[in-house]
Amino acid sequence: MVLELLRQVVVTACLAVMLWTNLAGGGRVDGDREPEMYSAFPTAFSPAPFTFAIWGPIFLGCVALTVYQALPTMRHDARFQTLGWYVAGAYLLTALTAFTPIGTSNVVITGLLVMLSLAYRESLRAEPHTVAFTWCVRLPLAIFLAWCTVATILNACQFAVSQGRPVGPASAAVLIGIASVIGIAVVIASKEVAFGIVLVWAFWGIVAARPEASSIVLAAMVGSLVLLAAMTYAWWGGPGSSPMWGGRTEPDAVADRGA
């Protein structure tokens, strides 16, 4: 009982630290104190400023998740026994990005990507998948994880530029392709449409920053189309969550319906 209460308190405290450092403190997980980082290490993969409005839904989702897990009825809920600690770790690493320079931030953001991936996997394994759990836990984690995927690539590009290796439109187009492949795998495996939507948002933010780069525009168009196809399949025609994410398979769902 004490450990479960401690988990609720720690997650809430870590959220407060994350919000303070990234809102009041001015840090950013996707670029480490804008706009100085972009002006110092410009890359063709850097999205237009409006793209970072995604942090609004991310922070709101984190608040919803934290409040939900802190409810008295959730204290002994087995779904949060492991997931909650991963979330706390993700919050702390997000806060840490406000204080880390380029290079060190690559390690921190990679760690954040791992934490969010583990937390999201746990959310897919959790049973039961109620409406409240889906909207307050699984959806916020999917949005956060999708943006962190883009942020990890962006941060790596900034590090490359800091080492004298420019990231031009051709490289950015290839990276958009890689992100698209990751997105397709996650969307189909987890049936999480929100993950794909966030990636498409990021792609067109990159296009908006460099509309004259035909290779980036083409990569964004192709990536968006294949992600749209994956999202359509996941939403309408796909089987249950893939075992690779620890989710339920179609036989599991059939068995439940027959029970």
Q: pLDDT for 217-231, tens place per residue?
A: 999 999 999 999 999
Does the residue 123 lie in any domain? Answer: yes
Of 85 and 41, the structure prediction assigns the larger pLDDT to 85
Question: Can you spell out the DSSP letters for 4-58?
Answer: HHHHHHHHHHHHHHHHIIIIIS---TTTSSTTHHHHHS--TTPPPGGGGGGHHHH
Residue 197 in domain: yes
Phi-psi group of 215: left, alpha or beta (phi > 0 → left; psi -120 to 50 → alpha; rest → beta): alpha
Q: Is residue 233 part of a domain?
A: yes
Query: What are the pLDDT digits (tens) for 85-112?
Result: 999 999 999 999 888 888 898 999 999 9
Q: What is the model's pLDDT at position 37? A: 58
Are 12 and 5 contacting, i.e. CB atoms less than 8 angstroms apart? no
Tell whether 101 is covered by a domain: yes
Which residues touch 137 (CB under 8 Å, ≥6 apart)?
Answer: 65, 68, 69, 79, 83, 123, 126
User: Does residue 65 form part of some domain?
Assistant: yes
Instruction: Please tell me the pTM assigned to this model.
Output: 0.88
- CA nearest to 37, candidates 93, 106, 102, 110: 102
The Cα 138–Cα 181 span in angstroms is 21
Q: How many angstroms separate the CA atoms of 65 and 8, rounded?
A: 11
Domain that holds residue 161: 2-249
| Residue 258 located in a structural domain | no
Give residue-wise pLDDT tens across range 109-155. 999 999 999 999 999 998 887 899 999 999 999 999 999 999 999 99
Domain assignment of residue 259, yes or no: no
> What's the total number of domains in the chain?
1
Q: Confidence band (pLDDT; 50, 70, 90) for 256?
A: very low
Choose the weakest-confidence range: 26-40, 42-56, 199-213.
26-40
| Burial classification of residue 251, based on how many CB atoms lie within 10 Å of its CB (0-12 exposed, 13-18 middle, 19 or more buried) | exposed
| 257: in domain | no
